[in-house]
A = this chain, B = another copy of it.
Amino acid sequence: MTEPRGRHAESAMIARKNVEALRAQIVQRYESLSPRLKQVAAYALEHPNDIGLETLAVIAERCKVQPSTIVRFAKTFGYDGASDMQKLFRDELLSHAPSPSYAERIRQFNERAGDAGSHSASELMHEFVQGNIAALQHLDQTTQQPELERGVKLIAEAQAVYLVGLRRSFPVAAYLAYALRHTDKRTYLVDGLAGMIVEQSSMMGPGDLLIATSFRPYAQQTADIVEEAAERGAKVMAISDSRLSPIARRAELCFEVKDAEFRKFRSLTASLCLAQTLVIGYAQQLTERENGKSRA
C-alpha cells in the first residue's frame, strides 16, 4: 500500500481538525499541486458549502474533473477519502449553525445585539456595512429615472469626457476614468499632476462633458474647473452632496448623493454605485446600438 502522506504529514494532521486549517494548507500547498488538484483546491476555497453538502459527482461536475480526482485531492491532504473530508466541511457548516432551534436562534441574536457599545473591529465593520446599505437604498429611492437617463445621454453625446475629483472624491473620478476607458469614449482624468490642473482643464471645449465630483468641504479647485468648463462651452455633470454646492450651480445635471459617514470619514459606496450605473448604462446603450446596426 502506498503512503499518501509525505513531508506534509504533520501539517495534514492539523488540517484534519478544522476547515480553517485546511484552507491554510490548501493555500500553502497550492502551487505544488497538479493542475486538476488545483481546480479542486480553488473550488474548495470558493464553495466550501458545496464540498460539504453535494455528492462527489456534483462537485466533480462543477470542478470539471472526475469524481476520483476529488478522492485523490482528499487523500493528498491526509484524509482517508473524500467522505472523510466532507465531514469536516459539514461540521463547519453546523458549527456556524444558523438555526439550531428557535430558542437558540433568538438567544444568539440577543447576545449579539446586547454586547454592542464597545467598538471591536468587527463591530465597526458591521456598522459600516449597515450604514452603507442604508446609503445605497437611499440612493436607489431618491434617484430619478429621468435624471439617470439624462446622465447617460450626456455621456453618450460627449465628444470627450473629462473627470475631476480631488481629495476624498478622487477615487470616484478614478473609477469613472477606469470604467469609461473600457468603452470607446475618449476619457481624461484631470488629476492635477505636476500642478497642471489648469492646463489639463483648458483642453475642454464645446461638445465635451466634465463630470465633477465634490463633497463638503468643497475643494476650491474643483469649483474653478467647473467654472472653466462652463465658460469654454463644455457641459457639466455634478456628483455632490448638495444641489447648492459650488459645483452643482453651474452644472447641467446634478446627482445628489448622501454617502454614509463615520467620524469624518466619508464612505464612497453610494457615489461609486451611481458612477457604475452611469457607465454601464452608457455601455449598454452602445451595445444595443451596435446590435441594432448589425441587424439593420
- A interface list, Cβ under 8 A from B: 19, 23, 27, 30-31, 41-42, 45-50, 53, 90, 92-94, 96-101, 103, 118-122, 124-126, 128-129, 132-133, 136-137, 139-140, 143-145, 148-149, 151-152, 167-168, 170-172, 174-175, 178-179, 182, 193, 242-244, 248-249, 262-265, 267-269, 272-274, 276-277, 279-281, 283-284, 288
Chain B hits for A267, CB < 8 A? 272-273, 276
Chain A residues touching B, majority SS? helix
* Shortest Cβ distance from A53 into B: residue: B90
Given contact pairs A99-B48, A244-B45, A171 touches B280 in the complex (Cβ within 8 A): no
Report whether A272 and B53 are in contact in the complex, using a CB–CB cutoff of 8 Å. no
* Shortest Cβ distance from A166 into B: residue: B178
Pick the residue among B121, B136, B276, B284 that contacts A281 (CB under 8 A). Answer: B121
Report whether A145 and B133 are in contact in the complex, using a CB–CB cutoff of 8 Å. no
* Shortest Cβ distance from A126 into B: residue: B140
> Can you show 27 pairs from A to B with CB atoms below 8 A apart?
A27-B243, A41-B244, A42-B244, A46-B100, A48-B101, A49-B94, A49-B101, A92-B99, A93-B93, A93-B98, A93-B99, A118-B288, A120-B149, A121-B149, A121-B277, A122-B143, A122-B144, A124-B277, A125-B143, A125-B277, A128-B277, A129-B136, A171-B268, A179-B265, A182-B264, A263-B283, A268-B272
Q: Could you tell me the distance between the alpha carbons of A101 and B96 in the complex, rounded to whole angstroms? A: 13
Output the residue of A100, A119, A132, A144 with the most chain B CB within 10 A. Answer: A132
Give the Cβ gap from A281 to chain B, nearest Cβ, in Å: 5
Chain B hits for A119, CB < 8 A? 284
Report whether A242 and B42 are in contact in the complex, using a CB–CB cutoff of 8 Å. yes
Output the residue of A19, A45, A98, A263 with the most chain B CB within 10 A. Answer: A98
* Shortest Cβ distance from A28 into B: residue: B249
Q: Could you tell me the distance between the alpha carbons of A144 and B282 in the complex, rounded to whole angstroms? A: 38
Pick the residue among B93, B121, B248 that contacts A27 (CB under 8 A). Answer: B248
Q: Could you tell me the distance between the alpha carbons of A273 and B264 in the complex, rounded to whole angstroms? A: 15
Report whether B243 and A124 are in contact in the complex, using a CB–CB cutoff of 8 Å. no
Given contact pairs A93-B97, A97-B93, A265-B280, A46 touches B103 in the complex (Cβ within 8 A): yes
